[in-house]
Structure 1
Amino acid sequence: MSPPAAATISVRTTLAMLDGDKREIANGVANDQYVFWLGSGISREKMPDLGDIAKNVLVTLQARVDAGDADCRFRKALNAVLVLAGPSADEWGRIDLDAVPSGWADFDALAARLVNNYARMLNVAVEGEHPDYLLWDILGAAHVYADPAIEPDAEHICLAALAIEGVASDMPTANWDTLIERAITKLAGTQPVLRVVVAPGEVRWNRRRANLYKFHGCAQRALDNEAQFRDLLIARSSQINGWVAQNPVIAAELIHFIVTRPTLMLGLSAQDSNIQGLFAAAQTTMAWPWPSHPPAYAFSENALGADQEGLLQNVYHGDYNVGNRPFMEAEALVQAYAKPLLLALFLHVVTAKLKSLVELGVPGLADVDRDKLHEGLEQARNGVADSVVPDATIVTELIEHCGRAMTMLRSGDLPDPANGIYAPLTAEPLHRMPADMTLPGSGLCQFAVANGLIGLGLARGHWTAAKADVSDPMSGAIVISGRSGPAKIYFAANAQAAIRLGTNGLIADNDDAVIIHSHVIPAPMPRYPRRAPGRTGLAPTRETSIEDLLAGGTEVEDLLSRFRSQVAL
């Protein structure tokens, strides 16, 4: 059977979808309108499969059975788990509770059936033990889900980047693992970017740029403080069914999100009764009208399941009828799983911010010229999309390249490991950028114009682009190859950054390089180390000022011509 379309969709095709009929959702994310509801699907390739968990329960319980004791408490528990798998009479006849389950003829089939009953399975009690014995002792779940050897996947890295860009400010999750926390530490180092809420009292902590609500508990917290956090690991059916009533503080916080902000579900089936209860309670508080702009609900799925369709019925309430239902469901379905969708959203958000910076930096720009620079930014974005796949290693490399370029732009230096590998374009979502009074003088607006011009050059075949070598400090931000050959491209937001590129040893006087200054070019000074002679015929290091270019006119065709002349590529 071929894999679902949502799993095989390319990043470029996902971007085309976000540029097309899912544009409102993409723009909603760029404006930090969506709450990201995260489920086990985003950690599926890093954490145990539910089928394997079911097998582990069967095998470990059976290993503790006392074969000589017909009344053995582990035998009783094992039998109770098997009942949940619904064996036929023939299957019961082939089960030997005194034999290792992996040898049972129907072992795989029984485990597969337990997947849909995992909460009931974990609710099975063992006489004389804590109610969560299967979870805590049999499975060792806290150690498994907090395993420090497990690295974040592509989804977690992209979520971390979106959070640092200020467009994923609230992320409720049913996951116990700490992969999002690790991803943000990887990207932001020790910077205070993330607040993690697990216990009710933690909702009083100061909000941060990103806020993760682990409403089913946290494996690491449970290991670090078993007395407080062990019972907050939610897995058993009795816990799930009573969760809303027993957790009024966290429940109220989540209901507030559902009522006030659109929902984007990633890797979350919404089948747990407590999640359904939250959305039903939100509907009674204030239902969403349909249509809403942006759409009030979006699901990263291959197709909507019964639970998601039921959720739409609850939250749209009176507007959910025979006539509207097909349109509601088509609008809500984003047919790309979290891996390609989150990477495409990251590229969309960064490009949307660059477009906004163009408009902020050149307020009198004619519409036709603005559109050409936007086209150039999209061309550069699409080139990146064509060169990447949503793999953890590749996504991390992309994020590292972005962070390296932004750090050199701002300070003429390489990233400080204490601050992580990523530096955001801005820490604010799109709609708040015009109110940031630091942006016009930051050099970012001119940086955006420069990228638009480079993108136009790519579109028109004037040059090609390649990534820099992050292992080489002197490799620039990107490499552009034109008729005169390849040149390393550096960006400098201010005179200090430009000078520090040389004093920090990131560029040599006789490098084939171009420094693109946001503002005026600083006076020449002996600031760069020298390399052994390379190819000759061009001024080894060329410099251009976007501010000066714009002062000479903002008609983009002329601007591009003058830019090409100065960079001599």
Structure 2
Amino acid sequence: MPAPPAATISVRATLDMLDGPKRELADGVANDRYAFWLGSGISRERMPDLRDLAKRILIELQARVVSADNACRFRKALTAVVALTTPSDDEQSGIDFSLSPDQWPAFDILAARLINNYARMLNVTVDGEEADYLLWDILNAASIYADATIEPDAEHLCLAALAIEGAASEMPSANWDPLVERAISSLAGAQPILRVAVAPSDVRSARRRANLYKFHGCALAALNNPGEFRKHLIARQSQINGWVANNPVVAPFLTHLIVTRPTLMLGLSAQDSNIQGLFAAAEAQLAWRWPSHPPAYAFSENALGGDQESLLQNVYHLDYTPEHRPLMEAEALVQAYAKPLLLALYLFVITAKLKMLVTHKLPDLADADREKLHRGLEHARNHISEGLEPTAIAVSELLTLSGRAMTMLRDGTLPDASGGVYVPISPDAIDRMPADPTLAGSGVCEFAIASGLIGLGLERGLWTAEKPDAADATSGALLLSGRSGPARVYFAASQRAAIRLGTNGLIADNDDAVIIHSHENPPAMPRSPRRPPGRTGLATVREVSLEELLASGSEVEDLLERFRSKVAL
């Protein structure tokens, strides 16, 4: 059976979708408008799936059955679980409690049926045990989902990068695993980026750039402190049905998010009654009308399921007419799963920030010239996206190289793991960036203009670009190759950063390199050569000042020619 289009769509094609029919969604994310509602789908390739959990429950319960005891409490529980699968007469005839369930002819079929009955399955009790015995003791869920050896996947890394960039500040999550937290820690080090709220009192803690609300509990917290957090692991049908009534603090808090922020659901089917109840309660308080701008609801799916259609019917009920319904559902469906969608959103946000910086630096730039620089940035983004796979390895390399380039730009050094390997263009969403009083002198505006010029040169075939060698600290921010050969490119936001590129050993006098300074060139500093000259007859380290280039005019065609002359490629 072929994979669904949402699973096979490329990052490049997803970007086309964000540039086109889903542009309002992408702009909304870039401005931190959306609450990211996270479900198990974003951890599907890291955590056991529901079919495996169902199989484990069947096998573990059967292993505890005392064959000679017809009143065995485990037999009673196993019988109740099997009954949820409504086996046919033929299937029932093959069920033998004296045999391990994996020897039953219909074992796989029964386990598959339990997927849509997982909450009812976990609601089955064992006489003499706590109500969550199947979850806590049979599945050992806290240990499984908090396993320290499990690394974040591409989705978690992209969410972390968006959060660090200030574009994903609100993340309600139904997931127990700590993979979003680990992803942010791996990128930001010990920086106080993330607030995690599990217990009701956690919402009193100070807000941070990113706020994760684990409204179904946290496996790591439950494992480390079962007395406090075991009760917060939500899985049983009775817990889900009574969740809103039993959570007088968190339920209104999440309802407020639904009322005040558009919703982007990632890997979340919205089938649980407590989630449906939250959205229905929010609609009763202050309904989103359709259409809204940006769209109030978006689902990262291959097709809308019944639960998502039901949610739209509830929240848009004032406008949910036969005429509007097809348009409403088409608008809400984002036909890309979380892996390609989040990676494309990250690339879109980064590019949108650079475009904003161009405009901030050159507010009077002619529209045609601004469009050329913006097009150059988009071309560079698309160049990066070509062939980019949304895997943990590829995303980790991309974010590491981005962080390295930004650290060299600002500090003339390499990132320190304790401070994080990823450095944002800005910690603010786009619409808040102009309020940053340090922006004008930070050098990032000139970096954005230089990036646009490089992208424009790529589009016109003036040079080609390759990523640097992640294992080579001296490989620069990128490698550009033109008629005169390849050169390593460095960016320096200040004289201090430029000088430190040399003193930290990241560049030498006889490197075949280009240093693009945001401001004026610093005085020449002695550097120790590391290798014989790469070319003769040409100064190997060329230094370009964007400030000086802009002082001579900002008309883009002329600016590109003067830039090209300086970099000598």
Q: Alpha-carbon deviations, 1:332-351, whole Å to 9, x = none?
A: 00000000000000000000
CA distance in 1, matches of 2:476, 2:72: 69
1:100 aligned partner, one-letter code: S
User: Once the 2 structures are TM-superposed, how far is the Cα of residue 316 of structure 1 from its aligned partner?
Assistant: 1.1
1:189 corresponds to: 189
| Counterpart residue number, 1:521 | 521
Q: 1:13-92, aligned counterparts within 5 Å?
A: 13-92=13-92
Secondary structure in 2 aligned to 1:395? helix
Cα distance in 1 between the residues matched to 2:346 and 2:528? 35
Partner amino acid for 1:566? K
CA distance in structure 2 between the aligned counterparts of 1:295 and 1:472, rounded to whole angstroms: 44
CA distance in structure 1 between the aligned counterparts of 2:48 and 2:420, rounded to whole angstroms: 28
Q: Structure 2: how far apart are the matches of 1:366 and 1:270? A: 47
1:85 aligned counterpart, secondary structure:
coil
1:385-534 aligned at under 5 Å gives the runs 385-534=385-534
Amino acid at match of 2:76: K
Q: Which residue of 2 aligns with 1:161?
A: 161
Cross-structure match for 2:138: 138
- Work out whether residues 491 and 517 of structure 1, in 8 Å CA contact, stay in contact via their aligned partners in 2: yes
Confirm or deny that 1:213 pairs with 2:217.
Answer: no
- Equivalent residue, structure 1, for 2:245: 245
Q: Is the 8 A contact 1:354 1:448 kept in 2?
A: yes
Distance in 2, Cα, partners of 1:81 & 1:259: 38
Q: Give the CA deviation at 1:248.
A: 1.2
Counterpart CA distance in 2 for 1:202 and 1:315 is 28
| Aligned pairs for 1:553-568 within 5 A | 553-568=553-568
2:459 aligned partner, one-letter code: A
Residue 340 in 1 paired to residue 340 in 2? Answer: yes
Distance 1:283 1:537 in 2: 71
- Give, in angstroms, the shift of residue 543 of structure 1: 0.3
SS state at 2:449 partner: helix
Counterpart residue number, 1:107? 107
> What's the offset of the Cα at 1:434?
1.3
Please say if residues 533 and 540 of structure 2, whose CA atoms lie closer than 8 Å, have aligned partners that are also in contact.
no
Which residue is equivalent to 2:297?
A: 297
C-alpha distance in 2, partners of 1:65/1:290? 55
Describe the SS at the equivalent of 1:57.
helix
Structure 2: distance between partners of 1:389 and 1:79: 45
Q: Which runs of 5+ in 1 are unaligned?
A: none
**Native 8 Å contact 1:509 1:531 kept in 2:** no
Aligned to 1:314: 314
Deviation readout 1:87-130 (Å, 9 max, x if unpaired) = 11221111101111110001000101111100000000000001
Could you tell me how far 1:182 is from its partner in structure 2? 0.3
Shift of 1:403: 0.2
Deviation at 1:380, TM superposition (A): 0.1
Q: 1:486-533, CA deviations, whole angstroms, 9 ceiling, x for partnerless residues?
A: 100000000000000000000010000000000000111214544333
Letter in 1 for 2:547: E
- Cα deviation for residue 473 of structure 1 reads 1.0
CA displacement at 1:534 relative to structure 2: 2.9
SS of aligned partner of 1:248: coil
* CA contact 1:499–1:527 (8 Å) conserved in 2: no
Displacement of 1:25 in angstroms is 0.2
Taking the aligned partners of 1:3 and 1:366, their CA distance within structure 2 comes to 46
Counterpart of 1:431 in structure 2: which amino acid? D
Indicate the SS of the match to 1:318: coil
Secondary structure of the residue aligned to 2:271 is coil
**Offset, 1:537:** 2.5
8 Å Cα contact 2:28-2:34 kept in structure 1: yes
Instruction: Judge conservation of contact 1:507–1:528 (CA < 8 Å) in 2.
Output: no
**Amino acid corresponding to residue 297 of structure 2 in structure 1:** Y
Q: Distance in 1 between matches of 2:145 and 2:161?
A: 22
TM-score normalised by length of structure 1: 0.99
**Residues 51, 114 of structure 1: 8 Å contact kept:** yes
Structure 2 Cα separation of the partners of residues 334 and 229 of structure 1: 35
RMSD of Structure 2 on Structure 1 (CA): 0.7
Matched, 1:229 2:233: no
Count of residue pairs brought into register by the alignment: 569
For residues 179 and 322 of structure 1, what CA distance do their matches in structure 2 show?
41
Structure 2 CA distance, aligned partners of 1:425 and 1:160? 14
> Any idea what the Cα deviations from partners look like across 1:233-269, whole Å, max 9, x if unmatched?
0000000000000001110110000001100000000
Mapping of 1:327-366 within 5 angstroms?
Answer: 327-366=327-366
Partner of 2:313, secondary structure, is helix
Deviations 1:299-321 (A, max 9, x none): 00000011101111111121111
For the residue of structure 2 that corresponds to 1:317, the secondary structure is coil
Which residue type is aligned with residue 273 of structure 2?
A: S
Structure 1 position 362, deviation (Å): 1.2
Q: Are 2:477 and 2:489, in contact at CA under 8 Å, matched by a contact in 1?
A: yes
Instruction: Give the structure-2-normalised TM-score.
Output: 0.99
Q: Are the counterparts in 2 of residues 351 and 378 from structure 1 also a CA contact under 8 Å?
A: yes
Q: Which runs of 5+ in 2 are unaligned?
A: none
CA distance in 2, matches of 1:395, 1:99: 46
In structure 2, give the amino acid aligned to 1:93: S
- CA–CA separation in structure 2 for the residues paired with 1:165 and 1:387: 24
Q: Distance in 2 between matches of 1:303 and 1:451?
A: 37
Moved more, 530-539 or 276-285: 530-539
Whether the 8 Å CA contact 2:266–2:299 is kept in 1: the answer is: yes
- Report the alpha carbon displacement of residue 213 of structure 1 after superposing the two structures with TM: 0.2
Corresponding residue for residue 122 of structure 2 = 122
* Equivalent pair of 1:289/1:319 in contact (CA under 8 Å): yes
